[in-house]
Amino acid sequence: MLERKPIVAGIFYKGNMIALSEQIKNLFLDDEGPMAEPELNRHEIEKSFGLILPHAGYMASGTTAAAALYEAAKKGIPETIVIVGPNHTGLGAPVSVWDKGSWVTPFGTVSIDEELAARFLKAYDYAASDYDAHMGEHSIEIQLPLLQYVYGRDLKILPITLMDQRKKTAIEIGEVFSRLKDEKKCLFIASTDLNHYEPEEVTRKKDEEVITHILSSSVNRLYDSLTEYKITMCGFGPVTTLLTAGLGTPRYIKHSTSGSMNGDYSHVVGYFSGIIE
């Protein structure tokens, strides 16, 4: 059976099950997080919705992700979780789908929704079944232990990595998602960090620009701003797929920077979480 082993366990998050469970619990209880454990609605979600989550190490962005997952848990359990992340490695196809087997974390195995993967690949022929793009990429892996903590171990996922984040490509994927969301009750996750490695005041200003366009679903303005203001957001393509999928209205959950977690405000990364419902 095809398995994707974790590459950032023990680096971005704790590498054994007991320590990882305690780490994630503390993210939810932290003053910078929701300050409470998630209360999972045990019923199936009524309809598909989306989340925008950061993908840095849990010590940096974990409380921002936890704040959004706390809200998501109230909605119920999705049939499948579609996770779209940027390709940081430059390997693999422009749009790479891991379509078979499973992914492994310290919490255990997560199954691929092979039927949904086949449907996506059939509906969007620019995408390819490709594993190279995922083997060294952390932007999807980092979400899985958090999702297992909230929803349990019996998950199905569809991992999609974008090296091609052009607006045209992202909108085309969003159009496919707009059909899939009505065929199956999915949680769609866009994995992204915001501005990278500039002083706190610069990053907060640039992040505010990005967040404004996300909350208004202004895809054209988002892409224009990235160029105009030299904003180094890494997952603008994944976010655009959700904004154009007809999932609903984006809502702000939390914004933070790495400076608030590590005390270094000279070279920070911005983190945002939101829900689209």
Q: Is 241 exposed, middle or buried (0-12, 13-18, 19+ CB in 10 A)?
A: buried
Distance CA 178, CA 246 (A): 6
* Best CA proximity match to 117, nearest among 159, 170, 172: 159
Contact between residue 154 and residue 17 where contact means Cβ atoms under 8 Å apart: no
- The predicted pLDDT at position 275 comes to 98
Q: What is the 3-state secondary structure (H, E, C) of the chain?
A: CCEECCCCECCCECCCHHHHHHHHHHHHHCCCCCCCCCCCCCCECCCCEEEEECCCCHHHHHHHHHHHHHHHHCCCECCEEEEEEECCCCCCCCEEECCCCEEEECCEEEEECHHHHHHHHHHCCCCEECCHHHHCCCCCHHHHHHHHHHHCCCCEEEEEEECCCCHHHHHHHHHHHHHHHHHCCEEEEEECCCCEEECHHHHHHHHHHHHHHHHCCCHHHHHHHHHHCCCCCCCHHHHHHHHCCCCCCEEEEEEEECHHHHCCCCCEEEEEEEEEC
- The predicted pLDDT at position 263 comes to 87
- The predicted pLDDT at position 260 comes to 85
Distance CA 59, CA 258 (A): 9
Q: How many residues does the chain have?
A: 277
Token pair in block for residue 167: 């607006």
**Over the chain, what is the mean pLDDT?**
97
What average pLDDT does range 131-137 have in this prediction? 98
Rg (CA), the chain: 17
pLDDT digits (tens, 9 = 90+) for 24-79: 999 999 999 999 999 999 999 999 999 999 999 999 999 999 999 999 999 999 99
Residue whose pair of structure tokens reads 């701003």 in the numeric block? 225
Token pair in block for residue 117: 């993967």
Distance CA 67, CA 64 (A): 5
Quick one: angle between helices 144-151 and 17-29, nearest 10? Answer: 80
pLDDT digits (tens, 9 = 90+) for 10-20: 999 999 999 99
Token pair in block for residue 191: 């994995």
Bridge partners of residue 188, in order along the sequence: 50, 82
How far from chain centre, in Å, is Cα 150? 15
Contact between residue 274 and residue 215 where contact means Cβ atoms under 8 Å apart: yes
Q: pTM for this one?
A: 0.98
What average pLDDT does range 100-106 have in this prediction? 98
Distance CA 237, CA 276 (A): 16
Q: Is 136 exposed, middle or buried (0-12, 13-18, 19+ CB in 10 A)?
A: middle
- The predicted pLDDT at position 262 comes to 85
